[in-house]
Amino acid sequence: MPAETGAKRDIRALDLESLRAFFLAHDQQSFRADQVYQWLWQKGAHSFEVMTNLSKATRELLDAYFVINHIAVDRQQRSTDQTVKNAIRLHDGLTVESVLIPTETRSTACVSSQVGCSLDCTFCATSQLKRMRNLNPDEIYDQVMALDSQSRLYFDRPLSNIVFMGMGEPLMNYKNVMSAVDKITEGLAMSPKRITISTSGIPKMIEKLADENPKFQLAVSLHSAQEKVRNEIMPFSTSFDLETLLKSLQYWYHKTRSKVTFEYLIWKGINDTQEAIDALVAYAKKVPSKVNIIEYNPTDSGDFQAADQQVIERYKQALERAKITVTVRRSRGKDIDAACGQLANKLVPLDDKN
C-alpha cells in the first residue's frame, strides 16, 4: 500500500494524462480523471470526500494514494480602506502572503510566487526573508481561490484582476507560474488579459516569456532609469544593465504587441530629482509602455521615505507631456502590515531569517 512505501503524493502534481493513466492502472475508467480534474481545478476541492459524483470506492482509492495539500489562512489583517492581507500557511509550515485590494468596482488579488525572495531589493521587506523554495502551481492557485472567496464574502463580487506582485520573483519560478496561470484562467474562467506578471527585470526570462506569446500583461519594477541609482536600490541589477533590460522589453513588444508597464516608486533623496524624471521619460519612450507610479508603503526599516506629492506630480506632468500613459496608485492598507513581506516577517522566527 502507498502508506508503506512513503508519503502520499499531492494529487495536484499530476497532469490530466497522468491522472488518466492512474485510473486505467487501477481498473477504472479514464473519464474519472476528468471528473477529479474538474473538482481540483474548477471547484477547488479540499478533500476527496466532497467529490460526490465519484463512488465511495473510487474516493477511498484516491485517499489511499494521494493527498490535497491545501493552504490555510494563518492570520488576516483588514485595513480601514478594506484592503485584506493574509498570511498563508503552506503544508510544510512555511508562510507567504496574499492581498485582496478592492476598489468601488474591482477586486484585485495580489499573490506570491516564492517563499521569500533570492533578490536583494533594499526597499522591500521580503528581501529580509531568504528564499526557501518556489511555490507549486496549486499553492499559487489556492491563494487566488481564497482571495476570490474573500471578495465574494466581503464585497459580493468575484475577483476581476490578478497581479503577481507578492513575495518572490515570478520569472525565477517560471514553469510553476505559467502552469498556475493556466489553472487560474481555467478554474475562474478569467481572461489572461486580466492577469499581470510583475518582474524585477530578468532579460533572459523576459525573452523566453515573449517567445511563448502569452496573453497576460507584463510589468517591470523599474524605480530608476539611472544605472547607478538602480544598482544601489536593486543590487542584483548590476548583472542586468538597463540597456540589456530595454532590449528584452523591445523584444517582448515585438513578439506580443503588448505594452510594458513600468512600476515606479519615488523616494526622498533617491529618485526625486529632475534628472531622475528626465531619465525615466527618455527610457519609457524607447519601448511602447505606460508608467504606474506607486505611492511607497514604508517597511519597518525606515531607510526609505515616500517622496512629496509635488515630486509625484512633476513626474506625472513630465510623462504626460511626452505622451506616455501614466497612472498614480495611492498606497493601500497603511494601517496594517501592508508592504510585501511585513506580515510574514512577523511570523517567521528570527533564526530563520539569516
- Does an H or E element contain 146, and which? helix 137-155
What is the spatial distance between Cα 223 and Cα 205, in angstroms, rounded to a whole number?
Answer: 20
Which contacts (CB < 8 Å, 24+ apart) does range 56-64 have? 58/28, 58/32, 61/26, 61/28, 62/11, 62/36, 64/1, 64/2, 64/3
**Catalytic, out of 110, 121, 124, 340:** 340
Cα angle 24, 70, 338 (rounded to 5 degrees) comes to 150
CA distance 129 to 118: 9
Establish whether 340 is a catalytic residue.
yes
Q: Which of 97, 139, 169, 263 is catalytic?
A: 97
d(CA 237, CA 229): 10
Q: What are 217's strand-pairing partners?
A: 196
Total Cβ atoms within 10 A of residue 132? 17
Asked if 317 contacts 309 with a C-beta cutoff of 8 angstroms, the reply is: no
Please answer whether residues 84 and 99 qualify as being in contact, where contact means their C-beta atoms are separated by less than 8 angstroms: yes
Catalytic annotation on 97? yes
One DSSP character per residue, 45-68 reads: -SSSTT-TTS-HHHHHHHHHHEE-
**CA 268 remoteness from chain centre:** 27
Q: What letter does residue 271 receive in the DSSP assignment?
A: S
On whether the CB atoms of residues 67 and 8 are closer than 8 A, the answer is yes
Distance, CA of 302 to CA of 82 (rounded, Å): 25
- Coil, helix or strand at residue 287: coil
Residue 168 to residues 118, 135, 195, 269, Cα–Cα distance (Å): 7, 9, 17, 27
Which sequence positions are flagged as catalytic? 97, 340
